[in-house]
Each structure stands twice: as structure tokens, then as C-alpha cells.
Amino acid sequence: MSDAVPARFVPGDRVTVRRSCPPGHLRTPFYARGASGVIERLCGAFANPEELAFNRPGLPAQPLYRVRFRQADLWDDYQGPERDTIEIEIYQHWLEAAP
């Protein structure tokens, strides 16, 4: 898509998901907000679904990443193996560089 926000992250970058609860249609799961993970890949750039949900164009397109999290980082009471991970597709405007 030509009208796209430039990608800020590359695979391997550590990122933190913003803690935010605006009204509307959000694709970022609540349980991942505030958590940190690693960029696994850039999936492309897509019209922002939060804007599409109000019948607006959602442009410029937002880069979408697959972010890998350790399950143990997401759930306080996680009982599974330490190596377990989950990958979640998250738009760039929800991500910040992790310190």
C-alpha cells in the first residue's frame, strides 16, 4: 500500500504494548496490553481497523507485526513450560520500543 506509515521496528526488536483502553473496535487483546515481547516479523501494512470500524478510510495504513510473547510474561499463574510462547498480530501504533 503506497499510503502507509513507515515501519519503525525490525524482527528481533523488543517492544512493549501500550496500556490503553479507548472506546471502539480494538484488535489488540486486553491481556497483551502492557506486556513486552519480540518482533517476529512484519506482516505488511493495512488500513487501521479502528478507523474502518467507523466507516473511515483508516489511512495511512499501519504496519502490522507478529509479536512473540512468553506465556509466563502474560499470565501470572502460568503453569506450562517456561519455553511456551504465543504470537499476536499487533498494529504499530500500539507498540513502543521496550527499554
- In angstroms, rounded to a whole number, what is the distance separating the alpha carbons of residues 28 and 62? 13
CA angle 82, 66, 56 (to 5 degrees): 140
Determine if 26 is a binding residue for other proteins (CB under 8 A). yes
Site for other proteins in 56-85 (CB under 8 A): 74-75
Q: Report the residue from 52, 70, 84, 93 that binds other proteins according to the rule CB under 8 A.
A: 52
Find the angle CA(46)-CA(47)-CA(52) to the nearest 5 degrees.
145
Task: Tell me the site size for other proteins, rule CB under 8 A.
Answer: 15
**Site membership for other proteins, residue 54 (CB under 8 A):** yes
Looking at the Cβ atoms of 40 and 51, the one nearer to other proteins is 51
- The verdict on 18 binding other proteins (CB under 8 A) reads no
CB 29 within 8 A of CB 87: no
Instruction: List the one residue from 7, 49, 59, 68 that touches other proteins (CB under 8 A).
Output: 49
CA atoms within 13 A on the CB side of 41: 3
Binder to other proteins among 14, 20, 25, 98 (CB under 8 A)? Answer: 25
